[in-house]
Every structure is written in structure tokens, then in C-alpha cells.
């Protein structure tokens, strides 16, 4: 398999960590979809990361679809998103909340980076980041024993950790240490996993904090 997309992308990273955790061998090709759109479109016509090239040459798009396929391959006993209810929807609702929080951060980032300063709409940024905050606050309030859904790690733990780390690294002024204490504890446990350590982006590709405009 070949995973296409930079590991600084939370969407690509959740696939990379899951691949490693489930024991799949894969190669990695770091493509910046913004700077190399034509190349990325050769894998995904929409030009979005990640894409997963299977051994037979077929290409899967979208992190949710890729993760669903991986769970199918490993079967119900090892799937990171359970295949039976009620465990399935309990994991899915946490993933959906975390991904919604992530999407709102992405919207905020684009608002700053894709517009000239005089065109940046601060109320939209504030609204979006408030949705991020409430989504992560809800997950932070869930019990852990030691994982979000009990004794076994699930995709909820992986995805939530990736989103929480993205918030802390990209928006440190909005989400300083201590904002989500339970998620910080969860993140510490996930980050100890070999699957996490083996998929850390290179230092040259480290996340850059987003500098929000002044309200004045």
C-alpha cells in the first residue's frame, strides 16, 4: 500500500496511525495538495489528502472511507470502529464530534491564510473556533477507563488525540495547556503507542501555529 499525503494533515495522520496500529505495511508519499495540486489529482481527482493506493493499483479517497476499508480487512475482532451495535454508534459519535471540531479549525485556518488581512472575517473565525471548543469540551467530559469506550483502544481515541493535538499546536492561544485536561491525559496514552511514534511528521514539516488577527 501507498499512503499519499503529508502527515501534518490530521486526515492523513489518522490513517497512518491506524495502518501502523493494525499492522499493515505501507509506503508513504508526502504531497502538499495545495502546492502540488496536479500531482495530488493524479491520485484523487478532487485533489484532497489522503489517498491510499492498494497493492492492485486501486485508489481509495477520504480518511473515513479508508479507515472503514481497513476495519473490513482486519475483521470484527480487530476493527478500530466496532462493526456491531451499540459499540459502533458510540465510537462513531465521538469520531463525528472530533472531526467536526477539526473541520471548524480548518475553516478558521483558511480564513486567515487564504484571504488578505482586510478580507478576514473575525466573527466567522470566532464562531468556528467556538464550535471546535464545544465539540472538544464534550469529548473531554466523557469517562475514560482507560480509553474513551472502555478497555480497548478504538478509532475514537486515535482521531480525538490527533484533533486535540492539532488544536494545541495550531491554536495555542485559543487552546492552551489545561483547556481539555482529560483529553491531554488521553493524548499522553495514545502518543506512547509505537503506531504514533512511527508516524510523527519530520521536524521540517512541523505544524505552524496560526496567528489570528487582532480584534482592534
Contact 201, 15 (CB under 8 A): no
Is residue 114 packed enough to be buried (19+ CB in 10 Å), middle (13-18) or exposed (0-12)? exposed
> What is the mean pLDDT for each group of 10 consecutive residues in the chain (216 residues)?
95 97 96 90 94 96 97 97 96 98 95 90 95 98 96 97 96 96 98 96 63 41
Contact 32, 6 (CB under 8 A): yes
Report domain extents, the chain: 2-79, 87-193
pLDDT for res 214 = 40
On the CB side of 200, CA atoms within 13 Å amount to 12
pLDDT for res 205 = 60
Beta strands 51-53 and 2-4: pairing type?
antiparallel
Name the CATH superfamily housing domain 2-79: Glutaredoxin (3.40.30.10)
Q: Is pTM beyond 0.85 here? A: yes
- The partner residues of 2 in beta bridges, in order of sequence, read 27, 53
Which CATH code, of 3.40.50.2000, 1.20.1440.130, 1.20.1050.10, 1.10.3720.10, is assigned to 87-193? Answer: 1.20.1050.10
Amino acid at each position: 500500500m501507498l499512503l499519499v499525503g503529508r502527515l501534518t494533515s490530521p486526515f492523513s495522520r489518522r490513517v497512518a496511525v491506524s495502518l501502523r496500529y493494525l499492522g499493515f505495511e505501507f509506503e508513504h508519499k508526502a504531497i502538499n495538495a495545495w502546492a502540488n495540486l496536479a500531482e495530488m489529482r493524479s491520485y484523487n481527482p478532487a485533489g484532497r489528502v489522503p489517498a491510499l493506493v492498494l497493492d492492485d493499483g486501486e485508489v481509495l479517497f477520504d480518511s473515513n472511507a479508508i479507515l472503514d476499508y481497513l476495519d473490513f480487512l482486519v475483521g470484527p475482532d480487530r476493527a478500530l470502529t466496532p462493526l456491531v451495535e451499540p459499540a459502533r454508534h458510540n465510537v462513531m459519535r465521538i469520531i463525528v464530534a472530533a472531526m467536526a471540531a477539526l473541520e471548524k479549525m480548518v475553516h478558521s485556518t483558511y480564513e486567515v491564510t487564504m484571504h488578505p488581512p482586510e478580507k478576514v472575517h473575525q466573527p466567522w473565525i470566532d464562531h468556528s473556533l467556538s464550535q471546535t471548543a464545544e465539540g472538544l469540551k464534550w469529548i473531554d467530559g466523557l469517562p475514560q477507563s482507560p480509553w474513551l469506550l472502555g478497555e480497548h483502544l478504538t478509532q475514537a481515541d486515535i482521531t480525538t488525540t490527533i484533533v486535540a493535538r492539532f488544536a494545541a499546536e495550531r491554536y495555542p492561544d485559543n487552546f492552551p495547556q489545561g483547556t481539555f485536561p482529560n483529553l491531554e491525559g488521553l493524548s499522553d496514552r495514545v502518543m506512547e503507542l509505537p503506531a504514533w511514534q512511527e508516524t510523527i511528521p519530520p521536524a521540517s514539516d512541523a505544524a505552524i501555529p496560526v496567528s489570528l488577527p487582532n480584534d482592534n
